[in-house]
Amino acid sequence: MTYTPLNMTSMLVILMLITLGLYYFPHPITLVVIGLIPFALWGIVNFSFYIVLGFVIFSFFRIHEVFPFLEPLKLPLLLALASLFVIFLRTTISQNLHPYWCPQFSFLILFFLLVTLGIPFSSNVSVATKAWTGVYSKIILMTFVIAWMMHKENHFITASRAFIFSGACVGLVALFNKFNNIGLVEGTRVTIGRNIGSLLGDPNDLALVLLYPMAFAIATFLEKSLSKIERLFSFSTFCILLYALLATQSRGGLLGFLAVASIFAYNRIRSKVLLFSGGAISIAILFIVAGISERASGGAAEEGIDESAMGRLYAWEAAWNMALDNPVFGVGISNFYYNYFSYSTHWDGLNHAVHSTWFGVLAESGFVGFILFVSLIVSTLLISLKMLKKVNLEHHSPGIRVAVNAAPAGIIGFIVSGTFLTQGFIWPIYLQVALVIALNRYLHSQNV
């Protein structure tokens, strides 16, 4: 075991804590508490990755909304504060957080700066400011932190298992709601926490959350060197996720699932004719099983191009008009909804969401932001595919192989589902970017 000597900053911080503690709480127990502080700090620093991972899990999977009895504990807030404290400790006192840079970070920071600079020019500055301070700035910060902190084999294994387990929890609650007719939209589409205003209260957003862990569940099940129990749990989770995804009746979610499954099938089925014909049949079967035709919007009762599809086309047209009118900064983050009336050629009395990651980014960050965002996604995808093709996975542990196989599937699933789901300024893609960057860095450090 190696010991790092205290630097001057560490000594000053400890002396300051002792002085303040004894001044405000002149009691013998204060010395005991102060004496425990170094051990607490040691634990926080050494288990800092798990604190950050916990914050990501709660933020992305909305665990506190999936299980409302956790809400009074304010776990997302506590984990957020703990994560910031961890970052402070590791950059100032322990000084063992080693930042690095890569092309993806350049695209990410330029896109973030563009979105930030565009806030004063937003059509609704207060909405843009709230979105930036409330969610987006935290996502960008944690993207860097996750990428820099994930540098051990155990980190990738733990993250993969955490994603699978969290996905299983969300999927089970979704199925419970479906079977008990709780929070159904349009009478058939399942949601979670709709009565408390949860992000998962929208079936499309719920489908997105269910889609991400699916790549890890499939990759784990296909990894034959893992234990039978772990593979069985992953297969069970996959079934839960698929059934819950079908219950959302989200067309974007179903296409995203087909994209994820196709990546694994493409690398394992030699006959491409069989692959593509089987894929076409699978699409038809999934849409029938999901009951898409029974939806109140976008179902078989609507003739021609259904109302749901036309609504998306009108929204995409409005997004294009916003970008033409605001080519540099767009209308501002989270401002599409509030600008729909001004830019839509079809007004039905209601503002609508854009229902597309690509058109959403185009409208809210302009053409420059769109180019930077696409560059980030494409470069990340290329890295993930390069790892899959050129890295000799036989020299790595099963856990690393799971992460390497799941990475490109997850990104391609995002690209396909992103055509119909709005996810440009929320967790999924940024989490995947951080994972790919960290995984690529780890593999290079192993020189294989």
Sequence-ordered list of residues with C-beta below 8 angstroms from that of 47, at least 6 positions apart, any chain: none
Distance (Å, rounded) from C-alpha 403 to C-alpha 151?
13
pLDDT at 38: 63
Alpha-carbon gap, residue 208 to 421, rounded angstroms: 8
What pLDDT sits at residue 302?
A: 42
Q: What are the tokens at 132?
A: 């930036």
pLDDT on residue 407: 93
The pLDDT of residue 127:
95
Backbone angles phi, psi at 349, to 5 degrees: 95, -5
The mean pLDDT values, 10 residues at a time, for the chain of 448 residues are 48 62 58 60 73 91 92 86 82 77 95 96 94 92 91 92 96 95 90 90 90 93 92 96 93 88 79 64 66 52 54 90 94 94 84 90 96 97 89 80 92 89 88 94 80
Q: What is the Cα–Cα distance from 352 to 355, expressed in whole angstroms?
A: 9
